[in-house]
Structure 1
């Protein structure tokens, strides 16, 4: 079985595929035009974020039986086009959930304790203790939107800081345990001190957490987004930061992460966020640790191996 790999992966992937009887063709710099020319030769395809796998590609992929997404989100896959051809999709949220949970906690610590802001001030020879007095996480209610691998990882870590952790997940029930309480969205609005987003990007979640959505929170909140930027329109975040509903925001993702292509509305929001002392911004690196880079491969290969074993 031949597998085309169209993005940079940890060095371990190729040997791991060989070990389960899959022949890797590692072409991390390949262009879309070339993929279209050769995809009919492969039974497997492994991607990250660079390539959108849509009708155009799968219509030419006559032998393809699986697609592996080296990461958690599959928003760059046209699931309808893929599934109607009986092509199986694998992703690997188990591989980077720990890294994402740790990063989300780091964002929260930073915004609540003014770590990024005070670091910059000290570098500028400003020694302002009172102006950078922070808040403690202990005793706060941390609310999660979505309780999958990523939300669960963050919940476990932040619960260890003596918080109350609540979660709303539209598609799950019965998940209350010693870490998290399953609640309604209304309770999230009423109780949250911290609101952390852990949902995939879908037609339903795109632009979900907008200005009106955030206006429903009863308290001032800290906002965290380590899911997908398109879930949270940034103009609403900026307005709530200005009005005081959002005390601080830790954002690992943006609506448009190709910063050279921002439109005028996006430029305005981006300028506000980068100039605010209430924000911590990171370049989509939650889940992007050295350990997760290798672990994602292990998860993918294990799933592919199970799939191939069932086909025998």
Structure 2
């Protein structure tokens, strides 16, 4: 909002139309290994322009101080793909999958929601393994209907650590957030945690996720605290605007929801899912039995109806999902690799 002067100051609207020179941006990528763009008007859709060929958005920061945004992109992503393939070779045999083909698909997929971690894989180590867990979780979310790419939105909570304040220092947040509108005027936020483990888990793990001050409980309670439209807090407008900025999904359902959002005619639902990928576990039957036992442990930490506002899907929802090697390989081979 700006003011204009005509005998007196009156409210007016100021805007700029920004035109990105795609041909120059293309040439820049042809001459540089990595391209960093820093601007308030920068948007991820710039990299979806058909005339910008073979350019991959590697990382995107939408909420920098001063309203700035930053993007890191490249035409030369072979080093990242190679590192991903080396990580895959550590865990899977050539008979199980074509690591290079899977790595290429991982790069394409993860650049959409975990670009920052992609750069860090160049150093190898645990962060590279974390990407395997995120990719497996992404695959299972789609396979199990928890995320529909054409209708929902998936964001990395690593980009929004400020939402969780000091609790992020102890890892008290989830990895991903699914935004969906399951019914008119309803926004559902599903926090998703991803684990890549060799060893089995037990009751202690469940308590660390769903007990008092635990990771998943902290995530869903924070989401409810920040975005509940019925709450009364001094910074409510700020958080409502923050939430609205995320709802850029293009579909009729979201058009309707944004209109309801503007009128204040909407409700919020939150819940959470934890995926544990036990990549060394071969016995699918034993793993399924363990999942059932530990799901009962999860239920002991949830107290309905009081917890309904944090776990909207009710007491019978499966919030802990343990996946073994066979299932993981199947999901990695969805595209035939």
TM more than 0.5: no
Q: TM-score, normalised by structure 2?
A: 0.26
Q: Which has the higher helix share?
A: 2
Q: What TM-score, normalized by structure 1, do the two folds share?
A: 0.27
Tell which has more relative contact order, 1 or 2 (C-alpha 8 A, sep 6+): 1
